[in-house]
Amino acid sequence: MDKHKKGVIYIIASAFCFALMNLFIRLTGDVPTLQKCFFRNVFALMIAAASLVRAGVPFRPGKGNVKYMVIRSLTGGLGMMCNFYAVDHMDISDASMLNKLSPFFAVVFSALLLKEKANKYEWGAVIAAFTGMLFVVRPSFDIKVIPALAGVAGGLGAGIAYTFVRKLGTRGENSMIVVAFFSGFTTLLLLPNMLLNYKPMTPVQWMFLVLTGLAAAGGQIGITSAYACAPAKEISVYDFSIVIFAAVFGFMFLGQIPDFLSVVGYVIIIGTALLKWYYTVIKPAKAENT
């Protein structure tokens, strides 16, 4: 199987896992958001470390890669916290959609930070995607807009993080080392808050936190492996399958049904992603074969 097909499979599997993670976050209940983030990373770190040990891979980042891992971890960690807050306070399909603005942010930051040139279709897609975002966020001066803005911030953080995941992939870094570094870094980042503000949890809440960590580890491994296999512009469109998974889970387990404006936003954003994919991947490929 070629790398492109592997990347597609990895990214769809990742979307499924992250949709499950968002469901479990919500089902955990009134546990503080940062406490949820802490345990999500503790469990993900355990899984990543066990995978490295089982594969016999030493935790030894490649030369010159640590600085990129730190930036990936800081931006990804902040994005994760914002996403968890959004999931806790709005429909999980809306929160998932806003978080998946990350490929469009990745276009912007790949151009700014990695000097990867974007064409007119990609820049047009960024503008259209942010138009769709407005239908989901529905900006207002009401306090209810805060979770939506947190969701957008989560997508921004993830977009920068995935830009550096791609950078690390092109430098040949082992994807499991990237996952383990991120999980360990964010665990240490959240530890002081955990020690000062820990809230006792019920057995059911512990169960859902463990499931959150397992799903998060699966999603993180999948997305890291996907972007190591293929460029974001070729496979990121498949990441939007998370919205379908999240909508189904939200309806089945939480009784959530996206409203009309949110659906309009989904159609604009996902439609834009499909058009961007066609003009940047499919159309050039057809031209080469004629």
Alpha-carbon span 283 to 289, nearest angstrom: 10
Q: What is the mean pLDDT of each run of 10 residues along the chain (290 residues)?
A: 83 92 93 92 87 88 92 93 92 89 76 72 81 80 80 89 84 87 93 93 94 86 81 78 91 91 90 82 74
Computed on alpha carbons and rounded to an integer, the radius of gyration of the chain in Å comes to 18
Alpha-carbon span 214 to 229, nearest angstrom: 23
Structure confidence at residue 94 (pLDDT): 92
Structure confidence at residue 169 (pLDDT): 82
Structure confidence at residue 142 (pLDDT): 67
| CA proximity to 101, closest of 50, 147, 63, 153 | 153
**Is 142 in a helix, a strand, or coil?**
coil
Rounded (10°) CA dihedral 151, 134, 262, 26: 10
Structure tokens at 145: 């807009």
Structure confidence at residue 93 (pLDDT): 92
Structure confidence at residue 133 (pLDDT): 86
Structure confidence at residue 141 (pLDDT): 58
Rounded (10°) CA dihedral 281, 284, 6, 102: -20
Structure confidence at residue 32 (pLDDT): 94
Structure tokens at 179: 């996952």
CA 154-252-39 angle, to 5 degrees, is 45
Query: What are the two backbone dihedrals, phi and then psi, of residue 47, each rounded to the nearest 5 degrees?
Result: -70, -45
Structure confidence at residue 290 (pLDDT): 66
